[in-house]
Amino acid sequence: MVQSRRRFLKLAGSTAATGALIGASNSASAYSSQPNMRWEPADPSNYTEASRSPSEMRWIIIHVTEGSYEGTISWFKDPDANVSTHYVIENDSNAEITKMLNRGDIGWHAGNGGYNDTSLGFEHEGYTDQTTFTDALYRSSAKVVRYLADKCNIPLTRPSGVAPCNPYDGIGGIIGHHQVPDPNDCGYNSHTDPGSTWDWGTYMNYVQGTTLGARFSIGEGVVTTASVNVRSEPAIGDNVVHTNPVGEVGYVQDGYVTEDGYTWWKIEYNNGVTGWSVDRFHASDAI
């Protein structure tokens, strides 16, 4: 294990060296790799060029294109569109992903400036309340969401009802376009997408990792990829028993448990600490 740990630290360098509140830094672990995707940049007139840090991104907003996959991509490249999202997902058995904005840029998609500023937008090919979305589309979209959650520390949870008036309230999460508050009446939203045919249960299962596959197995050796809070219970609360530094080695005793939008494993660390930690801030020690 010592050899693995040294190699991990060499590979991680300074990226994994910062601390965090819920369990790790916004640099997060490298477990969720970026899925394969096309790069088709939106026209510069359809978004705000920016350099947002990961900590500024709190929401992922789910849309439906109301048109075809290629048509939506072409529209976002049209200088007259005045609209854009970061990703467009194809609704077929391949579920191709097209990236149209860099993560730090601000897309024009939410209908609310504050939510544009603090979100990443996802368009899914289809028509609200009409389209049957493929399992492949749900999987492709969920993989990108998990990758971004690791990068930006966005909780993998979906709040109910209309989101807060102030996008900085609460912990953030994953919402439909219909949950974005109207900027002039924050208890209301005129949008309806993704609509009644969007299967939130299936999608959130994939997003939270309950059907895309667990990260670890019982007995597997793991190593922390950032400063991580170890808790007495698998939940966010006043239950931190210790904060482990980067590179602390241990093995998985129990899990997983999905709670508060995070996936938790009970880990016995080599420093004598045992408790529940968020999985995204760990990597397999078999590096």
Say if residues 65 and 88 touch (Cβ distance below 8 Å): yes
Just give the CATH number of 38-207. Answer: 3.40.80.10
Rounded (10°) CA dihedral 165, 166, 167, 169: -110
Provide mean pLDDT across the span 173-200. 94
Give the model confidence (pLDDT) of 35-82 as tens digits: 999 999 999 999 999 999 998 999 999 999 999 999 999 999 999 999
Comparing CA positions, the residue from 100, 99, 96 lying closest to residue 136 is: 96
For 137-220, list the strands marked E by DSSP.
Answer: 173-176
Residue 206 has pLDDT above 70, yes or no: yes
pTM value is 0.73
pLDDT tens per residue across span 236-266: 988 999 999 988 999 999 988 888 878 899 9
Kindly state the average pLDDT of the residues 107-129.
98
In the chain, where the domains are located: 2-31+215-284, 38-207
> Do strands 119-124 and 59-64 pair parallel, antiparallel, or not at all (unpaired)?
parallel
DSSP class of 126? B
The architecture CATH gives domain 2-31+215-284: Roll (2.30)
- At 175, give phi and psi (nearest 5°): -135, 155
Answer for the pair 183, 190: CB distance below 8 angstroms, yes or no.
no
274 pLDDT above the threshold of 80 = yes
